[in-house]
Structure 1
Amino acid sequence: MTISPRMSDGAGTRHLSPASPRRHALAAWALLCAILPALVLALPSTARAQQAGSNTGYSQEELVNAGNEFFGQISAGLASVIERAVSNYGQPNGYILGQEATGAIFGGLRYGEGTLFTRNAGNLKVYWQGPTFGFDLGADGARTMMLVYNLPAVNSIYQRFGGVDGSAYLVGGFGMTVLRSGGITLVPVRSGIGGRLGINVGYLKFTPQPTWNPF
């Protein structure tokens, strides 16, 4: 059975005009033409907002400013070390500010504590421990800034990072070293180095609670 295109309004039968579907289509097309330019204009700003929201790295300027405030001085040495790190490894997506104490003649221990800062995942208290192997002179208690690269989640910091743990780059009282674990790279930037020279092959172990066990 074929249903004819007609409606009943209670007072009789009313047939739909064949032109009604055409009018509806024209009205829909006119509405689309009216809102399409606004949608097109909104796309670039939306894309820029998404791009800005996905930028979780810290610029060289931000790191230098944070470091100067933390170390309590405006230092060309600090700026030079951070510039070298950013040039070699890019923008970190986190950084740690803290303090550590070490002491060694031919081998020793390193203990530290600080806060991991991230742009979009909050801040996290961290502790680190580790042995150092190699030739060092004296002992120091140094403020430390660590640049953290490719950190997928804040809890991923709680592991062991190995590599060359020493003064790989020294300038103006600041030193830079490099530690790695998997795809995560740490670049500790230290002050108060004093007489601590040489390359120390060791590791740092990060934990959520302080511990005296460096292993």
Structure 2
Amino acid sequence: MTAAAGAARAQERPAEFNPDEIVTSGHKFFGAISRGLAEAIESATRKWGRPNGYILGQEASGAFIGGLRYGEGVLYTRNAGQLKVFWQGPSLGFDAGADGARTMMLVYNLPSTSAIFNRFGGVAGSAYLVGGFGLTALALDDIVVVPIRSGVGARLGVNVSYLKFTPTSTWNPF
């Protein structure tokens, strides 16, 4: 593929995935927790419609009042290709603990793959010991990113946070 063709493809609006395709991909990625995953995807689909992208990856986070989250994965789209992405971000709130998670992020209303490289803010809550499963929503303008996490660790709290998506890894969460 030429550089010009690759650039044109990156600016193309990704086509939507149907819920069954997302659930199948999630089953392969998450394995045994697939019932909770299917319920989370159905809930997100009822609220935001059909995603036109999804990210599969892993992340780690920790917090004591203030926290940090770092992750990496691949953005999948139906017609605009795949794209390696990294994310990082701070949080602030009544939150304590640490966790590592496999993460699937449903992406809604993504106008082009390059539009993922922004900051998406939201409110998150966690309550688990040893392992857990959670869903939150982050937004920027019309784009909504819904992280679905399955992880191990201990976490309790509520926080305000954002995730900054970047094309390369960085330790700077801001």
Q: TM-score, normalised by structure 2?
A: 0.85
CA shift in 2, pair 1:179/1:193, >3 Å: farther
Task: Report if aligned partners of 1:165, 1:203 keep a CA contact under 8 Å in 2.
Answer: no
d(CA) in 1 for partners of 2:33 and 2:99? 21
d(CA) in 2 for partners of 1:159 and 1:87? 25
SS of corresponding position for 1:146: strand
More helix by share: 1
Q: Deviations over 1:117-136 (max 9, x none)?
A: 00000000000110011223
Task: Tell me the percent identity.
Answer: 65
Structure 2 stretches lacking a partner, 5+ long: 1-12
d(CA) in 2 for partners of 1:184 and 1:166? 21
Q: Name the aligned partner's letter for residue 69 of structure 1.
A: K
Task: Report if aligned partners of 1:167, 1:176 keep a CA contact under 8 Å in 2.
Answer: no
Structure 1 stretches lacking a partner, 5+ long: 1-53
Q: TM-score, normalised by structure 1?
A: 0.69
Larger Rg: 1
SS of corresponding position for 1:62: helix
Q: Deviations over 1:26-50 (max 9, x none)?
A: xxxxxxxxxxxxxxxxxxxxxxxxx
Q: Which portions of structure 1, spanning 4 or more consecutive aligned residues, are displaced by more than 6 angstroms?
A: none
* Deviation for aligned residue 1:72: 2.2
Alignment of 1:45-194 (within 5 A): 56-167=15-126, 173-192=132-151, 194=153
CA shift in 2, pair 1:111/1:74, >3 Å: closer
Q: Looking at both structures, which has the greater relative contact order when contacts are Cα pairs under 8 Å and sequence separation is at least 6?
A: 2
Q: Aligned residue pairs: how many?
A: 159
d(CA) in 2 for partners of 1:137 and 1:69? 31
d(CA) in 1 for partners of 2:29 and 2:81? 19
d(CA) in 1 for partners of 2:156 and 2:17? 29
